[in-house]
Amino acid sequence: MHLSLSSSDESGWLSTRKKPMTFDRFILAFAATGLIPIALTYGIRPVTVLTALYGFDVVGINAPNIFRAVMGLYFGQIIFWYMGFAKDELRRPALYMMATFMLGLAAGRVLSLVIDGVANWLLLLYLFLEALLGTLAVSALRRTVDG
């Protein structure tokens, strides 16, 4: 696979050629853009923000380190989803990553509901959005196979 950074190559990253906004491109861009503030919530000021949002204390050096690593994990996903948005040959792998990431998060939250009980409203909203976006990614993968 060759990924060009040249602006003179019409298929390159910096290409000015417009691509149609298809369903698969839309959900990749939508999910990537929506995940940015969540990623920043985990990493910028975890001690302050996570305590205010979720009601638990983030103390010591290890906890902020873990949450900043989670931010990095989220940004890794975001970057690849934008790459899939931009490059046709990366679209399907990006959709597979998005489906796996979102449905994996949703499954973990469902497990927590069963074992731990109902979480705060924001985490329930995340569960809904993760399940929805994961399902949309699977739907986009099926559309690209079917036609």
pLDDT tens by residue, 30-49 = 999 999 999 999 899 888 88
Annotated domain spans of the chain: 23-146
More confident residue, 7 or 132: 132
Residue-wise pLDDT for 51-62, tens only, equals 888 888 888 899
Residue-wise pLDDT for 71-87, tens only, equals 999 999 999 999 999 99
pLDDT at position 10: 52
Q: How confident is the model at residue 113 (pLDDT cuts 50, 70, 90)?
A: very high
Distances (CA, A) of 68 to 7, 34, 54, 75, 80: 34, 18, 16, 10, 19
- Is pLDDT at 18 greater than 90 in this prediction? no
Are 100 and 83 within 8 A, CB to CB?
A: no
pTM tops 0.95, yes or no: no
pLDDT at position 50: 86
Rounded CA gap, 31 and 134, in Å? 10
pLDDT at position 7: 44
pLDDT at position 15: 54
